């Protein structure tokens, strides 16, 4: 099951890099389709997953929204407005060793974490 270099795969990787941080699959698709109209959505999804599996890009799963794909930019957290439901980036240092605080891992092998803050966004707070 070795990987092949396809035009489509290369385009997906290039486009994620080009779009910088947290592009959605749809955004990547829309960008590619301008230059390569025959590409299918499925191919974009498949390659985004494959590229994140082999560590070329990072998948950021977002509750209540489309997954985001980052080229290797800084790790960050998110906040959701409890009124309008929108998601925002939070300016806070990434806590790399948060897993150390877990008392009893119970055999779980931790590989990372997400933090989702909740609150009311400026626009809803009037």
Partner DNA sequence: TATTTATTGACAATGAGTTCTTATTGAGAT
Partner DNA sequence: ATCTCAATAAGAACTCATTGTCAATAAATA
* Chain positions contacting DNA, by CB under 7 A: 1-9, 24-26, 36, 38-43, 45-47, 49-50, 65-67
**Helix, strand or coil, per DSSP, at residue 5:** coil
Nearest distance from residue 41's CB to DNA, in Å? 6
Interface with a second copy, residue 64, by CB under 8 A: yes
Answer for the pair 61, 67: CB distance below 8 angstroms, yes or no: yes
41 binds, among a second copy, DNA, none (CB under 5 to 8 A by kind): DNA
Q: Number of C-alpha atoms within 13 angstroms, CB side, residue 5?
A: 2
118 contacts 96 by C-beta, under 8 angstroms: no
* 108 binds a second copy, rule: CB under 8 A: yes
First to last CA, the chain: 56
Least distance between a second copy and beta carbon 71 (Å) = 18
Give the span between the Cα atoms of 100 and 107, in whole angstroms: 14
The nearest distance, CB 89 to DNA, in angstroms, is 17
How many residues sit in the footprint of a second copy (CB under 8 A)? 39
> Which residue in the block uniquely carries the two structure tokens 């407005």?
81
Q: In angstroms, what is the minimal distance from the CB of 21 to DNA? A: 15
């Amino acid at each position: 099951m070795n990987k092949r270099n396809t035009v489509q795969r290369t385009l997906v990787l290039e486009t994620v890099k080009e779009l910088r941080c947290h592009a959605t699959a749809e955004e990547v698709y829309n960008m590619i389709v301008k230059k390569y109209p025959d590409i299918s959505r499925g191919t974009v999804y498949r390659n985004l997953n494959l590229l994140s599996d082999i560590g070329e890009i990072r998948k950021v799963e977002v509750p209540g929204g489309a997954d985001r794909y980052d080229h290797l930019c800084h790790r960050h957290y998110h906040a959701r407005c409890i009124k309008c439901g929108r998601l925002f980036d939070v300016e806070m240092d990434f806590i790399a060793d948060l897993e150390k605080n877990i008392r009893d891992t119970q055999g779980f092998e931790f590989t990372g974490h997400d933090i989702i803050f909740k609150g009311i966004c400026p626009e809803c707070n009037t």
